[in-house]
Structure 1
Amino acid sequence: MSLIKSATIFIKEQVREPIGVFWAFGAPLAYIAMFANSPHTQVDQTIFHRLVGLCLAYIALTTSVFNFGLYLVGRRESGFVRTFLTEPNRRHRFLLAQFLASLVMALGYGAAFLTLTSAILMPMPFTQLLGFYSLYACVCVLFMFGAIVVAALPLTFQAASSSLSIFVTICVVAGLSSRDVQYFGLAAEMINPFALAGQLISGTMSLAWLPAVSVHALLLMACGFLGMAHQRLNPQWSNR
Structure 2
Amino acid sequence: MKKVLISLLIFMMAMSMVNAQQTRYLVFEFFKVESNQTYDFIEHIEFMEKIYKAAINDKKIQGWDFWSLQSGADPSEFQYITITYFGDPVSMMNGLQEDDLVKYGMISYPHMTEKEVLDKLNNASTSMDLAQRSYMQEIASTRDNFQFKRGTLASFDLMKAVEGKFQEYEKAEKEVFMPIHQNRIEKGLMGHWSLLRTALPFGSEAKSTHLTMNIYKDYLQFFNAQEYEDMESTEEQRAAQEKGLKSRDQKWVYLATLENAVR
User: Which gives a bigger RCO, structure 1 or 2 (Cα 8 Å, sep 6+)?
Assistant: 1
TM-score band w.r.t. shorter chain: under 0.3
Q: Which has the higher strand share?
A: 2
Q: Which has the higher helix share?
A: 1
Which is greater in Rg? 2
